[in-house]
Amino acid sequence: MGDESDTSDESLDAGSDKFDPLKALYSPKMRLTSSAPTYDNVSKFEAILKGINVSPKSSKSTVPESSRQRFLPHQEPVPGKRREPKNVLSKMQKTIGPLGMLHGCMENRIRIRVYTRNARGIKGHVEAYVAAFDKHWNLALEDCFEVWSRKVKRKAPALGADAVKVEAAENGVPKTTVKRKERKTETLERHVPQMLLRGEQVAIIIKIN
């Protein structure tokens, strides 16, 4: 038993045909020399044991230099430039013209008034701060005060006026107040913390000093 545990035992010799890998793993006397060669995979190691010469592939091309295509300096491929990601935030920084004015109001926290429209004309206006926008005039607004008008509903309820019940608004729902009533229309107002206004509803935008 003492001879089997010795480092001179053939079962612990990695180059021997009687090498026992399981015994080598658990043997405290098994030592590997620092000069042992390393291989990329097991197949290459087995080929070396069998005496097969495995030479690395040459990185040089076998195509002769005379048959390669040659380019003049101005015909060399131009290195490509990595484009910056395009999104709403990056496009807002490069706006000019009327959109540039809107970007200035957003950066300087200038309050604006947006007149909104419907199918027949001007519906009302919204006073707010600009949080974001795009080229289609879609606006993300903050601290909004909205005023708009609509037709007065004159249709009487089917069961009489006493049967009509006004339910309290849910928590978090902005409260709408009737500012004034005219003959056929009424004007309402409300305060909304945030609002997304579609560009097709925007008629005109002005600054509020």
Phi, psi of 148 (to 5 degrees): -150, 165
| Number of domain units in the chain | 2
Q: Is residue 33 part of a domain?
A: yes
For residue 118, give both structure tokens. Answer: 């419907």
Res 165: pLDDT = 43
For residue 86, give both structure tokens. Answer: 């395009």
User: Can you give the CATH number for the domain in which 182 is found?
Assistant: 2.30.30.100
Predicted confidence band at 1 (pLDDT cuts at 50, 70, 90)?
Answer: very low
Are residue 100 and residue 178 in the same domain, yes or no? yes
Res 137: pLDDT = 92
Q: Is the pLDDT of residue 62 over 60?
A: no
The 10s digit of each residue's pLDDT in 110-149 is 999 999 998 888 999 999 999 999 989 999 999 999 999 9
Res 147: pLDDT = 93
Are residue 121 and residue 202 in the same domain, yes or no? yes
Domain extent for 23? 10-49
Are residue 31 and residue 110 in the same domain, yes or no? no
The 10s digit of each residue's pLDDT in 72-110 is 777 777 777 777 777 777 888 888 888 888 989 999 999
pTM of the model as a whole = 0.51
For residue 106, give both structure tokens. Answer: 């957003």
Write down the mean pLDDT value for the chain.
78
Kindly compute the dihedral angle of the four CA atoms of residues 81, 84, 86, 87, in this order, to the nearest 10 degrees. Answer: 170
Are residue 43 and residue 113 in the same domain, yes or no? no
Q: Give the residue from 51, 6, 49 showing the smallest Cα distance to 30.
A: 6
Cα–Cα distance list, 27 to 8, 32, 35, 95, 206 (Å): 12, 12, 20, 74, 86
Are residue 117 and residue 192 in the same domain, yes or no? yes
Are residue 195 and residue 98 in the same domain, yes or no? yes
Which one-letter DSSP state was computed for residue 50? T
